[in-house]
Structure 1
Amino acid sequence: MEKASEIIKELMIQKEFRLKRDAAEFFGVSPQALSIWIAKGEIPPKHLLKLSKENVMMEKLEKTSTSFSTGTRPKQEESKTVIDYLMRENVALKKEIEYLRAEVVQVKIPSNSRNLLDKIVADSLLI
């Protein structure tokens, strides 16, 4: 897998960005976040997904102009990373939906303590 700095350099060349701030805007993050990625040597999977989509679009454009370049193809490891990320997100969202459904059921079932509290509040308002 390529280092984050190499990926960002390639992106800057492709998009003709002069500043890393422009690359950060492309990813929708702050320049500080981009610096952290470079320091760690990796780009988070959800941002690799955006880059992969962009590379696929670039490939389609290059195919039509007959100057196809293999350097813009998403690497198999990057694709696997993106797929793994999406799978984890899917599982997390399913768990969140399950939790929210359980919470809705709890809200629908009236509890005796709440009814007692409501009665006390209502009685205190009468006084």
Structure 2
Amino acid sequence: MNEDKLEMLELAVKEQAEEMTKLSQQTQDLISIVTNLRDTVGTFSEKQATQKITVEADTRPFQKIVESAFLKINFMIENALQNKRPNNLQVFFQSDANKWAVILVITVIFLTYSYWFSLHYLGR
């Protein structure tokens, strides 16, 4: 029984050693990749430091567009503040509902007096 355990232990140790060598190789590969990347970034930084880049652009058209947009926004806000909403009573007096309300009141008064007249004079 001890021999079986010993053989299993040897196999486990061999597998662990193989995995460790694979991991070691992968680590070495990663180290070389990082070193190459560091060198590339370093040369790029040196090239960037030595180069002088000047960009001349005419931004006046964009400034005019932005200024006109600000003027439009300002105009819209001023119009919104100046335009007061009329209250409900003003809207009622300016609408056609005013005529119908007068007709309805006159009709109700006429029907009321007609009812009183019919009760008082015709009901006897």
Q: Establish whether TM, by shorter chain, passes 0.5.
A: no
| More helix, by proportion | 2
Larger Rg: 2
Structure number with the bigger relative contact order (C-alpha 8 A, sep ≥ 6) is: 1
TM-score, normalising length: structure 1:
0.31
